[in-house]
Structure 1
Amino acid sequence: MTNQHRQRTFDSRFKRSNQAYLKESETSSAPAIRIGFVLREHFSMMAFTAAVDAIVTANLLSSTPLYSFRTLSLDGSAIRSDLGIEISVDGALQSQSSSELDMLFVCGGLRCNLQPDRALQDRLRDAAQHGLILGGLWNGSYLLAQAGLMDGYECTVHPESRDGLQETCPRVTLSANPYVIDRERVSCAGASSALSMMLAVIGQHYGNEVVRGIEEILSCDKIGEIPERPMPCTAIDPALPEPLQAVLQLMEANIEEPLGMEELAGLVNLSRRQIERLFHRYIDSTPSKYYLELRITRARRLLLQTNETIAAITVACGFVSTTHFSHCYRDYFGQSPSQARQNRGR
């Protein structure tokens, strides 16, 4: 018999929540994608922060950074946003080497000056020659188009700037979509679409699982048309069959004293086999594995976010003993609960 440690892997839904805490071998080892944001005077703060929020949150889902970013102005001076807040930047676009970036976004806004800027155009053309992916937020694509960098590409722009772009840049294919990705060009029309655009970019880089993980974090308080609806502790896909949603909700509500399969089946008026088929079809897991991962995820949060004893966490998450809890935690995270607590914050 071998004593070799058996490493468990999370099913996709819980892997998103726990990605940053898994062993290095399960996360991305590729170099971080380097992004520059060129801030123009009166740029849309909301569009900019939405784009940055997406990549910063992506980094939170990985034990190694997926992205790095820096802010730039043409000459390195501070830039005033559309909110009247002055923003210090990391450097000057005029001295930024294009070889040190992979993507470059021009951040515009409603009151940005759209008159041709030769110095800006020269730097953007240099970035294009170095093969950077170029993007525009709000009316940033207008400034890219002025440099001839949107010729033959489809792009979008804020409605206030559409007429001017159509008149002055006839070789550009202007779209009415809120965001557009066309080969090496990316654009969005405003603040709300900036997040959607960046999520689509991240999806191309790292896949839909990372995107869904970001959405779970950033959409936790999305309330739609029912402001009184409480936030769920975990995101349950409303597109799932109602009986399956009911089972997931029962699991979530019974973590300290987990319900047995027969109890769950009786409470939702299904057979055990029917529940297993639902999990296999819609979650690609078994009920017992899902339930364990739900509990071990809660245990990880309590372990790293509170000072509760390991014994108390063991009970709160439905494990029969601290030894059982420790074995399960090590199986998933590659370290014991006490080691994880010692390493938190590092």
Structure 2
Amino acid sequence: MSAAAKPVWFGILLLPNFTLTAFSGLVDMLRLASDEGDNSRPVRCCWSLIGDAKRPVRASCGIETTPWEDLGDPARFDYVVVVGGLLRKGSEPSQATLDFIQAVGKTKTTLVGICTGTFALMRAGVLAKHRICVSWFHYWDFLEQFPHVDHTRLVADRLFVMDDRRITCSGGRASIDVAAAILKRHIDLSTVQKALRILLVDRADTINAPQPHPPGLEPSAHPIVKRAMLLMEQHVSKTLTLEEMAKKLNVSSRQFERVFKADTGRTPQAFARAMRLRVAAWTLLNTDKTISAVSSDCGFSDASHMGREFRQIYAVSPSTFRREKRMAGLDEVNYQEIFPNRTEFY
């Protein structure tokens, strides 16, 4: 795209308690790709912060940003980006915001949901029949808020999904990736790559790049098993019974246990136990939390309970595990090393 060509216009809509990283990654990618040198002029692309009222919107970290202009006519934008963040009372989009998103959906403007901005798009009814990318961390939150959504449309193992004029992104650093993917549609590749280098990003991850899995979460192709693993991870601090998990997954306890064991070789209870230990091991090595705090975070009844579980696998206490691994210089968990293939683990 030449400097004289029409710039690509982005309207950025920040929801209450939005994630600052997701917003800043997106807008800095637009800024750096828009102009030459260090001028930051909106030449190749332009952006505007829009809102249903010109009052400050607070990010989840407390920083406030004021919209530049009212929502107005959605057709003036090529892309409308909705950036979300925390899911809690007071973070919901206003009715005016939902009405605006609905209006965007009736135009040729492409809608982009970043982080939990995807929830707002879903609530506005503009994601019908589209595939939807959600963070693994918010996967079950999404199903609880929208229980009637077709589960096969949910994608929790990719950074972002581009489906016609709907783009959904898991959030965080992935906002840089999705911005790069959009800009490649309109701007020469060398300019986009230069912007990435300035941001100290070697390359933008592609649409097929996987989301990083949380500690202890193993990949599975079976939709029920995948959902069960995500459910276990989100409830790692409060163990769910087999019946509770089956109810949330809308299957019988017998069917759930049979499918899970056929796919993983383990019962759901054994897998959940393994996950708790893996998360506990990661926490011990990567934080300075006390043993009691780790045991509580990971769903053990107390530190003694976690200690007994730990000794069955490692033959050492959690405190010894932490001390020995740190003395050995292990600053990143390698599960193949720290979890020996022992039958008592299962």
TM-score, normalised to structure 2's length?
0.52
What is the match of residue 118 of structure 1? 95
Q: Distance in 2 between matches of 1:189 and 1:143?
A: 14
Please report how far the alpha carbon of residue 219 of structure 1 lies from its aligned counterpart in structure 2 after TM superposition.
1.5
What is the match of residue 190 of structure 1? 171
Q: 2:48 aligns with which of 64, 70, 73?
A: 70
Measured against aligned partners, the alpha-carbon deviations of 1:197-226 in whole angstroms (never above 9, x if no partner) come to 11111112224222212122221799xxxx
Please report how far the alpha carbon of residue 114 of structure 1 lies from its aligned counterpart in structure 2 after TM superposition.
6.0
Percent identity (aligned): 22
Q: 1:221 to 1:30 in 2, by over 3 A?
A: closer
Q: Distance in 2 between matches of 1:86 and 1:116?
A: 16
Structure 2 residue 79 is matched with structure 1 residue 99: no
What is the match of residue 128 of structure 1? 105
Q: 1:166 to 1:199 in 2, by over 3 A?
A: same
Q: Distance in 1 between matches of 2:86 and 2:45?
A: 28
Please report how far the alpha carbon of residue 158 of structure 1 lies from its aligned counterpart in structure 2 after TM superposition.
2.7
What is the match of residue 321 of structure 1? none
Q: Distance in 1 between matches of 2:4 and 2:141?
A: 44
Structure 2 residue 7 is matched with structure 1 residue 32: yes
Please report how far the alpha carbon of residue 29 of structure 1 lies from its aligned counterpart in structure 2 after TM superposition.
2.5
Q: 1:153 aligns with which of 130, 146, 153?
A: 130
Alignment of 1:277-316 (within 5 A): none
What is the match of residue 42 of structure 1? 17
What is the match of residue 219 of structure 1? 200
Query: Does the CA contact (< 8 Å) of 1:61 and 1:213 recur in 2?
Result: no
Q: 1:180 to 1:221 in 2, by over 3 A?
A: closer
Q: 1:116 to 1:72 in 2, by over 3 A?
A: closer
Structure 1 residue identity aligned to 2:31: V
Tell me, which stretches of 5 or more residues in structure 2 are unaligned?
A: 204-346
Report the 3-state secondary structure (helix = DSSP H, G, I; strand = E; otherwise coil) of the residue aligned with 2:111.
Answer: strand
Measured against aligned partners, the alpha-carbon deviations of 1:206-262 in whole angstroms (never above 9, x if no partner) come to 24222212122221799xxxxxxxxxxxxxxxxxxxxxxxxxxxxxxxxxxxxxxxx
Q: 1:159 to 1:117 in 2, by over 3 A?
A: farther
Query: Does the CA contact (< 8 Å) of 1:73 and 1:89 recur in 2?
Result: yes
Structure 2 residue 36 is matched with structure 1 residue 56: no
Q: 1:115 to 1:60 in 2, by over 3 A?
A: closer
Q: 1:64 to 1:84 in 2, by over 3 A?
A: closer
Measured against aligned partners, the alpha-carbon deviations of 1:7-40 in whole angstroms (never above 9, x if no partner) come to xxxxxxxxxxxxxxxxxxx934221111111111
What is the match of residue 206 of structure 1? 187
Structure 1 residue identity aligned to 2:170: A
User: RMSD value over aligned CA atoms?
Assistant: 2.5
